[in-house]
Amino acid sequence: MKKVTAIAPANIALIKYWGMRDEEFTLPANPSISMTLRECVSTCTVAARDDGATEDEVLWVDIGGRVGSAPPWLRSGVVRQVERLRQYVGKTVALRIATSNSFPTGAGMASSASGFAALTMAVGSFLGGPSTGDTLSRLARLSGSGSAARSLLGGFVEWPGSADDPDSPARQLFAAGHWPLCDVVAVVDPMPKSISSREGHRRAPGSPYFARRQELLPARAERVWRAVGDRDFDRFAEAVEEEAIDLHLIAMSARPPCFYWQPATLAVLQAVRMLRGEKANVCATIDAGPNVHVLCLPAEVPRLSHVLSRVAGVHSIIVDRIGEGPRFVDEHLF
């Protein structure tokens, strides 16, 4: 039986997409830049249903390898995206789809980005539609997780989404080999976050500081881009941390507010500051969740992991690094 399996990595945003210009087409309020990871991945296997059923079957494979029906919230998002892809390609076949994540799901670690990237690739390819390129980038974005478009590429990635070309696809700025940064994630809470990114995007413009953020972003994005280009960690760290705090300032000052941080989030930020004070090449960023991504040069990983694992309230540590992007494999989930 024909099966297609795609593996797509999570990404961590350096300049964050926060707020939507258009919800129906998932057009962002601002351009974003991310770093694609290597070990934190989603896998998706697709085949045609062979039991005559006309509905899609959606399976979830947990970290221990146990296969079960996907929970309703996951199933509905998957089925909507599959329907979109079927319509695009013009086919009607019912599918069996299984997905899994190698890391905590829904905790602000881009599991929807990697999940929808893998799903869009696997289903697109299975149906004979696009499996790479700009069309795939646009289709992945329509899943509702705009950052999924960035998970289709490796290295440092930009999703332009600017006012003059809001529909632009994501594009690679630098390949992974350009600067082999690591990402040590301090997992403060592995459980799904209480306020989805989608809801956060909706609330963002309600912050009195949202308009000011839009004014500041172009210069900050350029600072990140140049620092990566020059492999200048100090300049990189300054711009990335500024951006992370800014995003959460907007989230916390939205009406109603989105508080993603927990006490241990702040404790990790303090530990990172302490290390920076000792001249370590480390800096922190946080997506829509309580977990802290500490970006660093490879030499810092042992000490950093040790320090972070001793911070009170840190549940676990995930050591990851920049990755080459998604791929198709011959090992299937079912």
List all residues 6 or more positions away from 104 whose beta carbon is below 8 Å from its beta carbon: 111, 187, 190, 191, 291
Binding mask 274-313 for ligand PMV (x = CB under 6 A): -------------xx-------------------------
- In whole angstroms, how close is the CB of 12 to ligand PMV at the nearest point? 8
Angle at 165 between CA 159 and CA 169, to 5 degrees: 35
Angle at 267 between CA 262 and CA 271, to 5 degrees: 150
Q: Is 207 in the site for ligand PMV (CB under 6 A)?
A: no
Q: How many CA atoms lie within 13 A of 154 on its CB side?
A: 17
How many CB atoms are closer than 10 A to CB 172?
A: 17
- In whole angstroms, how close is the CB of 321 to ligand PMV at the nearest point? 18
**In contact, 100 and 60? CB cutoff 8 Å:** yes
Interface pick for ligand PMV out of 5, 30, 32, 45 (rule CB under 6 A): 32
Interface pick for ligand PMV out of 10, 17, 169, 322 (rule CB under 6 A): 17
- In whole angstroms, how close is the CB of 96 to ligand PMV at the nearest point? 26
- In whole angstroms, how close is the CB of 78 to ligand PMV at the nearest point? 15
Cβ-based nearer residue to ligand PMV, 146 or 155: 146
Interface pick for ligand PMV out of 98, 113, 244, 295 (rule CB under 6 A): 113
Cβ-based nearer residue to ligand PMV, 30 or 43: 30
The residue range among 12-20, 45-53, 59-67, 171-179 that interacts with ligand PMV, by the rule CB under 6 A, is 12-20
**In contact, 58 and 75? CB cutoff 8 Å:** yes
Residues 52, 49: Cα–Cα separation, whole Å: 7
- In whole angstroms, how close is the CB of 248 to ligand PMV at the nearest point? 9
Q: Is 41 in the site for ligand PMV (CB under 6 A)?
A: no
Q: Is 116 in the site for ligand PMV (CB under 6 A)?
A: no
DSSP string covering 153-206: S-SEEEE--BTTBTTPPPEEEE-GGG---EEEEEES--SPPSS-HHHHHHHGGG
Binding interface with ligand PMV (CB under 6 A): 13, 16-18, 32, 112-113, 145-147, 197-198, 287-288
